[in-house]
């Protein structure tokens, strides 16, 4: 009896036709120890898209000043954040990897990667290479596009693939600021707090960037003014990080029925003395308290996984600042983490990339 064609195909070739899905977050130290934190900071900050100054200046700044002096302080904060299983960012990433794989099924191969440290992008892609995949879809976990985040992931993926003799079809998810389920996820998380407490004000805090990086993105040299130009998302500013952040706020405000005059968009995590995108979250918090605002519901919609910048910076340090300035009640809305609606968002992003 003649065997069918499918039965005669070797096991390794049965994998052909699958789609690889590389989900990528920023990264985390391997441990909260000072050496591992220093190693992470060096890799992260030596990226020319993160600190966009000439290499020699960047090398000296990172290796002689920032990493040696900041690592011990950051290590203390990471120890506060760390869970028994490890870094929350990595824990949520591993859960999402499994949940997304289960949801997508056998036609897909899902792998988690970090732009910095482990698991590395290159390792994930080399595993894909051995599988003979037809297509690879890269999904950076950054809702708003920025050269320092999504752009850096693109560059690293292209660096690795440039060495391949045969390249499969490649697709990238650029941003998902207006994806309905992404918005709905934060809305659901916020509604439970809004049902329990009547907040005076709502703060939407995004990770900051140097103003020069925003300006560089305006290839016309005429659109970006770091102000009213972010009032709407248009064809000319659609890739502007600041404009995308304001768009995310507008969509969340509309979905939550927050009245005008009751919310603000601001930017956190400044580094160095050069101007960063404004308004600054720290200054905004002090101003709100000085105006008599007593309760704030805070969002961090630039992050889909809770991490140092959300749990510690927004959830604890900004809470302390608000209370020291005269505020009474501060509540952080958690990120999407491994929630069902985040998995639904990713399924849609993959299938409609």
Confidence of residue 13 (pLDDT cuts 50, 70, 90): very low
Tokens 């659609």, located at residue: 238
307 and 341 in contact (C-beta within 8 Å)? no
Does the annotation flag 309 for ligand binding?
Answer: yes
Confidence of residue 6 (pLDDT cuts 50, 70, 90): very low
Q: Which two tokens stand for residue 70?
A: 């900041």
Does the annotation flag 207 for ligand binding?
Answer: yes
User: How far is 264 from 281, CA to CA, in rounded Å?
Assistant: 9
122 and 9 in contact (C-beta within 8 Å)? no
- Round the CA-based radius of gyration of the chain to a whole number and report it: 21
pLDDT at 192 over 50: yes
Of 248 and 13, which is predicted with more confidence?
248
Q: Which two tokens stand for residue 258?
A: 């927050």
- 11 DSSP assignment: G
How many helices and strands, by DSSP H and E, does the chain display?
Answer: 13, 8
Give the tens place of pLDDT for each residue, 207-217: 999 999 999 88
User: How far is 167 from 181, CA to CA, in rounded Å?
Assistant: 32
């Amino acid at each position: 009896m003649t065997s069918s064609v499918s039965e005669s195909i070797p096991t390794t070739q049965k994998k052909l036709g699958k789609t690889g899905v590389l989900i990528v977050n920023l990264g985390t130290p391997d441990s909260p120890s000072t050496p591992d934190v220093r190693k992470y900071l060096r890799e992260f900050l030596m990226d020319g898209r993160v600190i966009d100054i000439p290499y020699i200046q960047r090398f000296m700044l990172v290796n002689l000043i920032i990493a040696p002096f900041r690592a011990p302080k950051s290590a203390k904060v990471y120890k506060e954040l760390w869970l028994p299983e490890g870094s929350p960012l990595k824990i949520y990433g591993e859960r999402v990897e499994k949940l997304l794989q289960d949801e997508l099924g056998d036609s897909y191969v899902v792998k988690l990667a970090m732009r910095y440290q482990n698991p590395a992008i290159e390792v994930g892609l080399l595993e894909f290479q051995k599988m003979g995949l037809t297509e690879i879809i890269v999904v950076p976990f950054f809702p708003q596009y920025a050269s320092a985040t999504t752009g850096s992931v693109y560059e690293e993926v292209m660096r690795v693939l440039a060495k391949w003799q045969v390249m499969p079809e490649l697709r990238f998810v650029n941003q998902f600021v207006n994806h309905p389920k992404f918005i709905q996820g934060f809305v659901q998380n916020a509604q439970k707090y809004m049902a329990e407490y009547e907040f005076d004000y709502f703060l939407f805090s995004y990770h900051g960037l140097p103003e020069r990086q925003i300006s560089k993105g305006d290839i016309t040299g005429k659109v970006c003014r770091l102000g009213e130009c972010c009032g709407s998302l248009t064809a000319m500013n659609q890739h502007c990080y600041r404009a995308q952040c304001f768009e995310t706020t507008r969509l969340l405000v509309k979905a939550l029925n927050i009245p005008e005059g009751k919310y603000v968009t601001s930017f956190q995590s400044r580094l160095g003395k050069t101007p960063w995108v404004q308004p600054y979250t720290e200054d905004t918090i002090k101003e709100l308290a000085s105006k008599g605002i007593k309760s704030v519901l805070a969002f961090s919609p630039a992050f889909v996984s809770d991490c140092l910048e959300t749990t510690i910076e927004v959830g604890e340090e900004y809470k302390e600042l608000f209370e020291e300035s005269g505020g009474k009640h501060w509540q952080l809305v958690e990120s999407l983490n491994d929630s069902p609606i985040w998995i639904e968002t990713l399924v849609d992003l993959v299938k409609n990339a």
